[in-house]
Structure 1
Amino acid sequence: MSDTRDTAPSPQVWPCLRARDARALIDFLAAAFGFEEVVCYGPDGADGRVDHAELAWPEGGGIMLGSIRDDADTFALPPGAFGAYVVTSDPDALCERARAAGAQITAEPHDTDYGSRDFAARDPEGNLWSFGTYRGAARKA
């Protein structure tokens, strides 16, 4: 995976999710899939609450996440209701990394009819992650 953080523009669309145990999910996403923790804000203490975290995807883009909250959360998504497709140049190796870190593989690596190599997995919160080589259709000028 190439490091494009110094040359690629910052993401302008941020998929967001909530977690029952956000700290554990951040650690899992880093270990299993290779996301990189950029920032993590929350109170000091042992409860593990995360008010806001950003994780970068090494090949570009990123996600935001936080702990579920009891207050009037304007972004009140139920944990485990998130799904994302993430582009990777080596889905087979990433699948093995995810499996070794305890991810539930829901679709083994396979070739699609549109020319991508994909696999899918669930994280401990139940979110569905699909990874593949398809980079999307070219944008029209």
Structure 2
Amino acid sequence: MTEQLVTPAVTYRDPKTATAWLAEAFGFTVTMAIEGPPDQPAASHYEMDAPGGGRIMIGGTWSEWTRSPADVDGANTQAVHVRLAANLDEHCATARAAGAQIEAEPADQFFGDRTYRAADLEGHVWTFAVHVRDVSRAEAEEIIGIRIDSPEWE
């Protein structure tokens, strides 16, 4: 098992339903399930592997400082970005069929990825990406008209 250096924790009103939906819509796989008591679904904890790598944690609204976007008029204070190995357009079609709200249709981006953005059953925003071509920093800067500072991007 590869150690995850960063693992987003995503809060849902109904984490068990969210876990099943994330598997169906986005292709995540459950790697851990701790079921809370029936009268305390927020005490449940799940971990899921993302297609292509990475992990997320799913939990309930167990504290005053954790809320689902469904609890705060749809507001998001973060979004989760998932890099896929391939088949972005098919992934989007599967998500749409499962009820995801497609916020941005699949499109090629200036930095060389093809992406789409979707909101899940409680309003969390997810961006999915597939790398489609290598782009130099100079080419990206020309496309967007802004200087990019990045020691890792040639």
Which TM-score band applies after superposition, normalised by the shorter structure?
Answer: 0.7 to 0.9
Runs of 4+ in structure 1 displaced over 2 angstroms? 42-51, 137-140
Higher helix share: 2
Q: How many pairs does the alignment contain? A: 128
1:87 to 83, 88, 99: 83
> What does residue range 1-141 of structure 1 map to in structure 2 within 5 Å?
9-45=2-38, 48-69=41-62, 73=63, 76-80=65-69, 81=76, 82-88=78-84, 89-134=86-131
- C-alpha RMSD of matched pairs (Å): 2.4
Distance (whole Å) between structure 1 residues aligned to residue 95 and residue 117 of structure 2: 10
Amino acid paired to 1:133: V
Decide which moves more: 37-46 or 108-117: 37-46
Amino acid paired to 2:127: S
Q: Check whether the contact 2:27–2:50 (CA below 8 A) recurs between aligned residues.
A: yes
Greater C-alpha Rg:
2
Which residue of the partner structure matches residue 139 of structure 2? none
Amino acid paired to 1:68: T
Amino acid paired to 1:79: S
Q: Residue by residue, what CA displacement relative to the aligned partner does 1:9-33 show, whole Å, maximum 9, x if unpaired?
A: 2312101121111111111110000
TM superposition score normalised by structure 2: 0.73
Q: Residue by residue, what CA displacement relative to the aligned partner does 1:85-119 show, whole Å, maximum 9, x if unpaired?
A: 10012210100000111100000110111111110
Q: Percent identity?
A: 32
Distance (whole Å) between structure 1 residues aligned to residue 109 and residue 11 of structure 2: 30
Structure 2: runs of 5 or more not aligned: 70-75, 133-149
TM superposition score normalised by structure 1: 0.80
Which residue of the partner structure matches residue 3 of structure 1? none
